[in-house]
Every structure is written in structure tokens, then in C-alpha cells.
Amino acid sequence: MATAIRVKDLHKAYGAVAAVAGISFEVVEGECFALLGPNGAGKTTTLEILEGYRDRSGGSVEVLGVDPAQGGRDLRERIGIVLQSAGIDRELTVGEVVALFGGYYPHPRDPGEVIELVGLGEKRQARCRTLSGGQQRRLDLALGIVGDPDLIFLDEPTTGFDPSARRRSWELIDSLRALGKTILLTTHYMDEAQNLADRVAILAAGRIVAEGSPASLGGRDVAEAEISFRLPAGAGLADLPPLGPARPRLDDGRVVLRTEAPTGALHALTGWALARRVELEGLAVTRPSLEDVYLRLTGGDR
């Protein structure tokens, strides 16, 4: 697979503010990659540099093989950009605006089809100024894909959406990926990154603090498991069998044990309970959630 985006030691300062402080990552063709981070992390700045709309202070960037700072019309025709608010004439209808944007590209998709795809079929004749916030965002998405680009940039594509509009947008983004498009999206929603992205980079204060698949991010797939259950009536911590090197602690009537070897600990524990004919109420084995990892890595500043 060819590399669609290559970012090396990218820096961007706004006066004294280091918005992006030396980040590096690569996005492979056909991949959906998410930059996940809280407000002010530098996500939009990074995206705008990749789109060629903002200059950088240092580092190198390649998008579809060219430097977006130099990339002219050729690059523009191959990328689709969904801005947080596109500059459009709001007196035009949805159908007119999508057709107009399609006209900027050499091989646009059929405007009617695109409008259906984003779920605005019934709004085709409506003036843009009459759209709700969620419908406006779907129009933004339509404008980003009408040129049938190879690479699509999505800046917080579902911010402000209600849950069902978010689901529909996720399906739409999935269908773009199924068409083989490369997608770079930013989000501050962990579940969005988890559902959509093949790989995620967590950005905090202009730096990448973790990168990987949603399942392995921050090492959570290999992190210690936590076993917990309610202490059976009449039993004390001292009555439990040996459960490996870790010592269980009591937390409000629940026994909590962290272990790298949950299989053996569970075997000892359930054997002990069966022999005593007691139920281990509320027995659970958990690992850190993506949210735990995110809050730890971003300092919880959401």
C-alpha cells in the first residue's frame, strides 16, 4: 500500500503559541486515520496545513506525493475538504450548491446521488439558509465528496449532531472507506475514533501522546486486568486462596485485584468459590477503556 500522507516533525507556531510542536505520522492509502484530542490540541491546524490552507513553521509534509504548500490545482482536485463551515452563498438551494462545487472538479459525482448519500434528498430544493445545524454539516460533507476525491479530510464531522445523525454520518464515512477512499478525520469523541478509524493518534497540546489501533492504544490490550467481585458473606480477605503475586484489596465491600495473569487467578478464585458453594456476586474482569487511556494521556482536560 502506498503512503497517502507523510508528516515529519511538523511544527506550527502562532506567535508565541506552539499549536503543533513536532508531530510525525503516516497514513496509508485506503486507511481511515483519526486525530483524536481535546479542543486546542492542534487538530484543525494540522489538517489545514495538510490541505494547503495554512503554512507551517517547520518540518515536512507530503500529501499524495506532493508538498501541499506547493501543490496547485492537481492536488486540490484529488482531495475533498469538509470545512467546519464552508463559504457558500446561503441563498442558493442545496442542489445548486452541490452542482456548483462539483463543477470545480474534472470528474465530479452526480450531485443528486451525493445529496441522497448524505441524507438530504428531501432538501434538494431548500435554500441553504433554511437548513438546521445538522443538515448544514451534511451539506458540508456533500461538498467534500462531490468531486469524487481520493483523499478526504473531515474536521470534526459530527460535532453538534444528535445521536441518530451521528450514526448516519458514521455509516456514510464507512461507505466512503468501502469505496477505497483515504480518510483523515479529527474528532474529540472517543467512540467516533473507536468506531471509524483503523488507526488513531491522540493529540494533546500539539504533541502525539499515543498512536495505534483503537484496541491497542496506550497499551490497553496488554494492560493489567482488574478482577473484582463482592466478598461472600462470612468470608474475609484472608480466606481467599493465593491469587498470584498481586494482593487483593477491599474497596467498599468489593474485592479488587490487578493482575497480568487473570486466567490463573480466576481459576483459583472460581475453584475456591465452587468448593465453598458460594456465588461470586458481581464478578467482572475489565481492562482500561479507551476513555481511561485518553483521559490519562490528555491530562483529563476535556
Ligand X SMILES: Nc1ncnc2c1ncn2[C@@H]1O[C@H](COP(=O)(O)OP(=O)(O)O)[C@@H](O)[C@H]1O
In angstroms, the Cα distances linking 78 to 45, 51, 146, 252, 256 are 20, 11, 11, 58, 54
With CB under 6 A as the contact rule, the residue among 39, 130, 270, 289 that binds ligand X is 39
Min dist CB 110 to Mg ion, Å, is 31
* Count of chain residues binding Mg ion (CB under 5 A): 2
17 binds, among ligand X, Mg ion, none (CB under 5 to 8 A by kind): ligand X
With CB under 6 A as the contact rule, the residue among 7, 23, 33, 37 that binds ligand X is 37
222: Cβ contacts below 8 Å, ≥ 6 apart: 216
Question: Considering the rule CB under 6 A, would residue 44 count as an interface residue with ligand X?
Answer: yes
Smallest CA-to-CA distance from 78 within 60, 98, 99, 64 is with 64
Question: Considering the rule CB under 5 A, would residue 44 count as an interface residue with Mg ion?
Answer: yes
Question: Per the structure block, which three cell numbers stand in for 174?
Answer: 464507512
Question: Considering the rule CB under 6 A, would residue 19 count as an interface residue with ligand X?
Answer: yes
Question: Considering the rule CB under 5 A, would residue 158 count as an interface residue with Mg ion?
Answer: no
In whole angstroms, give the CA distance from residue 302 to residue 300. Answer: 6
Which one-letter amino acid corresponds to residue 34? A
Question: Considering the rule CB under 6 A, would residue 169 count as an interface residue with ligand X?
Answer: no
Min dist CB 207 to Mg ion, Å, is 16
10 Å CB burial of residue 142 (0-12, 13-18, 19+) is buried
* Count of chain residues binding ligand X (CB under 6 A): 11
Smallest CA-to-CA distance from 140 within 111, 98, 96 is with 98
Site string for Mg ion, 1-40 (x = CB under 5 A): ----------------------------------------
Question: Considering the rule CB under 6 A, would residue 42 count as an interface residue with ligand X?
Answer: yes
Task: Please report, as ranges, the residues that interact with Mg ion according to CB under 5 A.
Answer: 43-44
